[in-house]
Amino acid sequence: MTAGLGFEVIGAQAEPYAAVPTIMLRLRITAAVDEPVHALALKCQVRIEPQLRTYAPDEEGRLYDIFGSIPQWGDSLRPFLWTHLSAMVTRFTGATEIDVPIECSYDMEVAGVRYLHALTAGDIPLILLFSGTAFGPGAGAGGGGFSARPVAWSDEATYRLPVRVWRDMMDLYFPNSGWLRLSRETLDDLTRFKGARALATWDQAIERLLKEAGEP
């Protein structure tokens, strides 16, 4: 098997029944010639390309801790890794479509999560860089045996993931909420602060701290 493969993301949606927050990417795979692909062990690096979109003023403020102030964006707004994917594709001839899950975190210490959380509308420019191994019929007479070839490093696809897909997914799993990871010492201090002021929830404790610090 010598023919190359083409990749195209044709859609995305939130998966409502997964164990963790998940976006399903619909991926179309096309063989360059009409011969069977017995199997495809596919790997993919998904990168966000933040320089390929514009940002509203409120988004710019929330992105400060990732990219710095606006004058710095010419140097700091660079593609960065979001996640890695893998999939096993069963036999097909010509073309096939599969759903590839992206398992998403809401850990605000992860740059990709902070970036996605900062966006309110529009889309997220993605580039998917593929690798792996494709298995096909043997090259000998009669097509006996099988052959294997690596997926070319040049095989890639771009996709504009709607921000609403990410927000819809997080609303399914964490309605109107997010997550912060604190050290045990900070959590102990916050617990004492909350108890001393008879505050019912952690939200109220954080709100009181912000108010006492003079933040709106």
DSSP letters for 132-183: EEEEEE-SSGGG-SEEEEEPPTT-EEEEEEEHHHHHHHHHHHSTT--B----
Q: What is the pLDDT of residue 2?
A: 46
Domain ranges of the chain: 5-173, 182-216
Topology of the domain comprising 5-173: Immunoglobulin-like (2.60.40)
pTM of the predicted model over 0.75: yes
> What are the CB-based long-range contacts (under 8 Å, 24+) for 165-169?
165/12, 165/13, 165/14, 165/23, 166/23, 166/104, 166/116, 166/119, 166/124, 168/14, 169/14, 169/15, 169/21, 169/22, 169/23, 169/104
User: Quick one: pLDDT at residue 165?
Assistant: 96
Q: Which residues pair with 37 in a beta bridge?
A: 92
pLDDT of residue 102: 94
Q: What is the pLDDT of residue 3?
A: 53
Question: How high is the mean pLDDT in each 10-residue block of the chain (216 residues)?
Answer: 80 92 96 85 96 94 91 93 94 94 84 90 96 83 72 91 94 81 84 86 86 78
DSSP state of 71: G
Residue type, 100: V
Q: What is the CA radius of gyration of the chain?
A: 23
